Amino acid sequence: MAQSREPLAGNLNRDMIAEAIAFLDSLDHVRRKMALYSFDAGERFDWHYVPRSRPGLHLRDMEPGQRQAAMALLRTGLSDSGFACAQGIMALEDVLKIREPGEDYDPGNFAFVLFGNPEAGAPWSWRVDGHHLSITFTIVDDETVIALPHFMGASPSAFDRVHTVLGAEETLARLLMHDLDDSHRASALIAADAPAEILTGPGREHALRRPTGLIWTAMTDSQRAMLLELVGVYAERLRPELARFELDRLRTAGTEALHFAWAGGLESGQPHYYRIHGPTMVIEYDNTQNHANHIHTVWHDPALNFGRDLLGEHYGSAH
What pLDDT score was predicted for residue 6? 46
Q: Rounded distance, CA 161 to CA 157, Å? A: 9
Percent of the chain residues topping a pLDDT of 70: 93
What pLDDT score was predicted for residue 163? 75
Decide: 249 and 257 in contact? Cβ < 8 Å: no
Q: Give me the mean pLDDT over the 2-29 stretch.
A: 79
Q: Rounded distance, CA 135 to CA 131, Å? A: 11
What pLDDT score was predicted for residue 308? 80
pLDDT in tens, 286-306: 999 999 999 999 999 988 999
pLDDT in tens, 89-146: 999 999 999 999 878 899 999 999 999 999 988 999 999 999 999 999 999 987 789 9
- pLDDT interval class at 310 (50, 70, 90): low
| pLDDT averaged over every residue in the chain | 93
- pLDDT interval class at 42 (50, 70, 90): very high
Q: Give me the mean pLDDT over the 60-70 stretch.
A: 99
Q: Give me the mean pLDDT over the 14-28 stretch.
A: 97
Phi, psi of 286 (to 5 degrees): -135, 130
Percent of the chain residues topping a pLDDT of 90: 87
Estimate to the nearest angstrom the gap between the alpha carbon of 113 and the chain centroid. 16
DSSP 8-state code for residue 60? G
DSSP sequence for 94-106: HHHHHHSTTS---
Q: Give me the mean pLDDT over the 44-56 stretch.
A: 96
The shares of helix, strand and coil residues in the chain, as percent rounded to the nearest 5, are: 40, 20, 35
Q: Would you call 79 helix, strand, or coil by DSSP?
A: coil
CB-based contacts of 42: which residues, under 8 Å, 6+ apart?
none
Give yes or no for residue 9 having a pLDDT over 70.
no
Give yes or no for residue 7 having a pLDDT over 60.
no
Q: Are strands 145-146 and 189-191 parallel, antiparallel or unpaired?
A: unpaired
Q: Please report, in angstroms and rounded to a whole number, the separation of the first and last CA atoms in the chain.
A: 18
CB-based contacts of 140: which residues, under 8 Å, 6+ apart?
123, 146, 307, 310, 311, 314
Give yes or no for residue 5 having a pLDDT over 90.
no
Q: Rounded distance, CA 153 to CA 201, Å? A: 13
- Helix ranges (DSSP H) in the chain: 12-25, 29-35, 64-77, 80-99, 167-179, 182-188, 221-235, 240-253, 289-292, 308-317
What pLDDT score was predicted for residue 96? 94
pTM > 0.85: yes or no:
yes
What pLDDT score was predicted for residue 143? 79
pLDDT in tens, 156-192: 998 866 777 999 999 999 999 999 999 999 999 999 9
Q: Give me the mean pLDDT over the 235-251 stretch.
A: 96
The beta-carbon contacts of 265-273 under 8 Å, at least 24 apart in sequence, are 265/194, 265/292, 266/174, 266/177, 266/178, 268/161, 268/174, 268/292, 269/161, 271/193, 271/194, 272/174, 272/194, 273/191, 273/194, 273/195
